Amino acid sequence: MSRTDTSVPRFLACISALIATTASSCNRQPAPTASAPASPVRTRTASERHPATTTAPSPTIVAVDGDRPHTVTIDLGSGVTLPLVLIPAGAFTMGDEGALPVHAVTISKPFYLGRYEVTREQWQAVLGDDPSDFVGEANLPVESVSWHDCQAFLQKLHQLAPLYEFALPTEAQWEHACRAGSPQQFDVELERRMPDSAWYEVNARGTTHPVGLKQPNAWGLYDMHGNVWEWCADFFGDYPADPCVDPSGPPSGEHRALRGGSWNFCATFCRAAARNCARPDERYNYIGLRVAAGTRK
């Protein structure tokens, strides 16, 4: 598999990708990178975080639909659950005119993906703390979590539900799930549909919102567009030009990939193909996560 020029430093690659995905009507939001965060937010220390208030959960799988479940719901204890949707295998065209090169991708096997962004109460049920800047409803998406924080969450989640291997989705898995079978390359209708399908800078009123209030996509996933950016597993880097199967990004890098846009970004950043990135130790109140999972063999 060949790749485009990888001699560009990762930091510059990150910046250039953001410039490429920024429409002329939306060029006042700078990139959320180490040197230029996208909004006036801060990274909080552990001592500033909200104290733990939950006891140890007792998770079990509480709902399976059929022999090959379309959805599973994992019990995290204390009445908190984590619904997952089975995403089918399939081929799609990854990227668009703002995220080049457009290339053919095959996802070779089904996987599970969170129906919603991980919420404050789910994070607290698993790890016992609440790092979010925005407090209020328990089903607000968790934010102010680093990529490394997410690994700790996923590791603990696996201990609680050992039938599943939990991970962040790859960028390819995320975009496959976001497109939900749509062949459309550049979503020209996105601006029109955004108020119904996403919390973004036009309607979010400067804050996150409880998950699941907007219309889901064709595969039943909520808030794939907007609310909070979602960490992906991949190092951030240039796309391959050739067709590939189950791509997982470059082997190394300084930044990790982000997808989906957020409450403080405009519509073009919420495209299925739009890319962003941040250093894995950075925490911002517009970055959260969504869980991917496979069945353990």
To the nearest whole angstrom, how small is the minimum distance from the Cβ of residue 141 to Ca ion? 7
Binding-residue total with Ca ion (CB under 5 A): 3
From residue 204, give the alpha-carbon distance in Å to each of 25, 108, 180, 200, 267: 18, 36, 24, 5, 12
| Choice between 247 and 260, CB closer to Ca ion | 260
To the nearest whole angstrom, how small is the minimum distance from the Cβ of residue 117 to Ca ion? 5
To the nearest whole angstrom, how small is the minimum distance from the Cβ of residue 94 to Ca ion? 18
When CB distances to Ca ion are compared, the closest residue is: 260
Burial of 58 (0-12, 13-18, 19+ CB in 10 A): exposed
* Burial readout 13-50 (b: 16 or more C-beta within 10 A, e: otherwise): bbbebbeebbeeeeeebebbbeeebbbebeeeeeeeee
| Choice between 122 and 227, CB closer to Ca ion | 227
Element (H, E) at 257: strand 256-259
Q: Of 123-131, 151-159, 175-183, 227-235, which segment contacts Ca ion by CB under 5 A?
A: 227-235
Interface residue with Ca ion among 260, 266, 270, 289 (CB under 5 A) is 260
To the nearest whole angstrom, how small is the minimum distance from the Cβ of residue 198 to Ca ion? 8
In this structure, what token pair is assigned to residue 235? Answer: 């190092």
In this structure, what token pair is assigned to residue 106? Answer: 């095959």
Distance CA 297, CA 288 (A): 28
Q: Of 77-85, 97-105, 186-194, 221-229, which segment contacts Ca ion by CB under 5 A?
A: 221-229
| Choice between 10 and 259, CB closer to Ca ion | 259
The phi, psi pair for 127, rounded to 5°, reads -105, -15
Q: Of 2-10, 18-26, 57-65, 218-226, which segment contacts Ca ion by CB under 5 A?
A: 218-226
Tell me the longest C-alpha to C-alpha distance in the chain.
Answer: 50
The phi, psi pair for 47, rounded to 5°, reads -70, -20
Distance CA 276, CA 99 (A): 10
| Choice between 149 and 223, CB closer to Ca ion | 223
Q: Of 73-81, 91-99, 187-195, 220-228, which segment contacts Ca ion by CB under 5 A?
A: 220-228
To the nearest whole angstrom, how small is the minimum distance from the Cβ of residue 164 to Ca ion? 22
Q: Is 264 an interacting residue with respect to Ca ion (CB under 5 A)?
A: no
| Choice between 75 and 263, CB closer to Ca ion | 263
Shortest CA distance to 117 belongs to which of 252, 258, 256? 258
Q: Is 197 an interacting residue with respect to Ca ion (CB under 5 A)?
A: no
Interface residue with Ca ion among 96, 133, 201, 223 (CB under 5 A) is 223
Q: Is 227 an interacting residue with respect to Ca ion (CB under 5 A)?
A: yes
Shortest CA distance to 266 belongs to which of 98, 89, 103, 108? 98
To the nearest whole angstrom, how small is the minimum distance from the Cβ of residue 68 to Ca ion? 27
Interface with Ca ion (CB under 5 A): 223, 227, 260
